[in-house]
Chains A and B, each alone.
Chain A
Amino acid sequence: MGDLLAFIQEMTTRIVAIAWALFLLSWSVGWMLKGVPVPFPKLKRTGQDLIEDAVWAAFWLAIGGTIFALISYLVSNVSLPMPAPPTP
């Protein structure tokens, strides 16, 4: 049972690392598409979308721990505290 938890935890850590890497990639690709010197507005629009998504992803990644801590805090104010959220 502990193995399963460790596996999920490890997978979560990897996913967070991959997500950060993908953020950098998306952000870079987005800027690259946006700055490419060709007059294709659709391509530039795609670049803009990638940048926006990457920024949102970075935002959710950054506040992930905070969100779980906030939920834990809010619920513990009206109930008994449950297991502390593990840090991914």
Chain B
Amino acid sequence: MEYWLLLLAFYLSVLTYYLGALIYSLPIPWRGLKRWGPVLIYDGAASALLVFSFTLIVLGVQHFYTVLGGSWDYFYTWVEDRIATLISYQMLISMISSVASGLPGFASIWWALNPLLSMVSYAIMALTTTLSLGLVVQRYYVRLLALGVALYAVPFRMARSAGAGLMAFSIVFYLGLPLLPVFVDTMGQPVQAYPGIGEAASIGVAFVEGLVTARDGTPIAYGQLRVYLEGSPVAAYPTDASGRFDAGAPDKGLPSKREFNVMLEYAGLELWLSPNPVVPDRDYEPSTAPDANYHLELRANDIASCPQPLAPVALTSPYTLLSSNITHSGNRVEVDLELDVREAGQLVISVPSWLQASISIDGTPASGVAQTWSWRGVGGTVYRFDIGPGGHTIRASYMVVDEPGLPDLETAPYLESLTGTGSLASIIEEVSRLVFTWIVLPSTYLFILTLVTYSLASSLGGRGRIPIPWVG
């Protein structure tokens, strides 16, 4: 094909040359028309020179390509890596969007997700276009160059601009496009690609609210929940004064496609919550909360009752709770429990520092082994009593003697560990940075290449004015 185009260009240059000679020999004394003669003779010779220099030009371009240090392979790898990363971002945002779309408050986060999704789509489109451009230039630049020469040789400069432009385009882009990664990496900020994002779709995310209770249904207030996925901590949420926790939209969440375990850290105790493991399909229930689609009930089976915040009554051995009765009177709280303990173990009663407690087991005041604890900025005493199998009655009386303290609880959103990018705001920031680096900078570079192409085309005669006889 290239050979044919060059042959065509050469034939056209010969034709142009003889057309010039013909116009020269016209017996018409019209200066304006006669001017075409030398112009066409010159054009014919110049086009022929280009045709015969074609191999030289190609060799020169190859030489400069080597000298400049560009690499098409690296260019393709670079672009494909970025497209893959952007696709994973797109998957993540789509997933969050689809999960959150069922929420009543979805409109409030859609403002952030929709433009984000568009930006990522545009970035993918821009990089795909660049990739396609690279493929065309690398594979067809010789053919484009030959076509440019052929157009350049068309008589009367009819396609001279197009030919010069095509030649300049093929040369400049063949040399310049492989250097795009170097330009972007030098001018832009480093963008971190998070490998975990790709797994997001397989693990899934669900926006959940829930309640943590003791065996008798009393809320576990001000506890620290830790969520483990395949043994690794993936999230942490606190419970409030009524034992509720919030893993809702837009940036918290819990796994939706894999089972996980929840541990309760409470007044110096650590215990697994039931169900253990949590199976999302089985244990999630529909929720009417504005920022969650699911409700999850968790129970601390080892805690028989929690009559006051941070004052759990727990057992280390299996038991059955027969009855539980809590009475409040002024600043006093009393809890009466009837238990059927199946194995010998320990009764553990934790008393925070702002409470005073008196404990009796089976009607007998008990003192047990006291041990002080300090946990997340609050402290207290934990009493341990050996307890044998069989039925037991436990009575604990608490009196509030000081202002209650609040533990310093933490929130570690599940989405943060899933994506590695932190909150939704972090994702927006990351995507913005990514769009700047992967859209704005490549576009700038392509613009620069276009300007260079234009200049080179002008140098090759692309802007040459067509001498019109009657204008002079």
Contacts and interface: CB of A to CB of B under 8 A. Distances in A.
Interface of A: 1, 4-5, 8-9, 11-12, 15-16, 18-20, 22-23, 25-26, 29-30, 46, 49-50, 53-54, 56-58, 60-61, 64, 67-68, 71-72, 75-76, 78-80, 82-83, 85-86, 88
A45 B34 CA distance: 16
Given A53-B37, A79-B59, 6 more contacts: A15-B15, A53-B24, A57-B21, A68-B14, A75-B52, A82-B6
Nearest to A58: B25
B55 A5 contact: no
Contact of B8 (A8, A15, A46, A57): A8
Interface of B: 3-4, 6-8, 10-12, 14-15, 17-22, 24-27, 29, 34, 37, 41, 45, 48-49, 51-56, 59
B24 A71 contact: no
Name, among B8, B24, B53, B55, the residue most crowded by chain A CB atoms within 10 Å (CB to CB).
Answer: B24
A64 B17 contact: yes
A16 to B, nearest CB: 5
Interface of A: prevailing SS: helix
A19 B22 contact: yes
A57 B7 contact: no
A15 B24 contact: no
A22 B15 CA distance: 17
Contacts of A12: 11, 14-15, 18
Given A71-B48, A72-B52, A76-B52, A64 B25 contact: no
A5 to B, nearest CB: 6
A42 B268 CA distance: 120
Nearest to A23: B25
Contacts of A22: 22, 25-27
Contacts of A71: 45, 48-49, 52
A54 B52 contact: no
Contacts of B55: 79-80, 82
Nearest to A50: B27
Given A46-B29, A57-B24, A64 B11 contact: no
B56 A75 contact: yes
Contacts of A16: 18, 21
A13 B375 CA distance: 103
The 5 residue pairs across chains A and B that have the minimum distance between CB atoms: A57-B25, A57-B24, A75-B52, A79-B56, A26-B27
A8 to B, nearest CB: 4
B22 A86 contact: no
B52 A82 contact: yes
Given A5-B7, A57-B37, A64 B52 contact: no
A64 B45 CA distance: 9
Nearest to A18: B22
Nearest to B19: A15
Contacts of A76: 52
29 contacts: A8-B11, A9-B11, A12-B15, A15-B15, A22-B25, A26-B27, A53-B25, A53-B37, A54-B25, A56-B37, A58-B25, A60-B41, A61-B18, A61-B21, A64-B17, A64-B18, A64-B21, A68-B48, A75-B56, A78-B56, A79-B56, A80-B55, A82-B52, A82-B54, A82-B55, A83-B10, A83-B51, A85-B14, A85-B48
A22 B26 CA distance: 6
A73 B19 CA distance: 23
A60 B21 contact: yes
Name, among B12, B37, B41, B52, the residue most crowded by chain A CB atoms within 10 Å (CB to CB).
Answer: B52
A23 B27 CA distance: 8
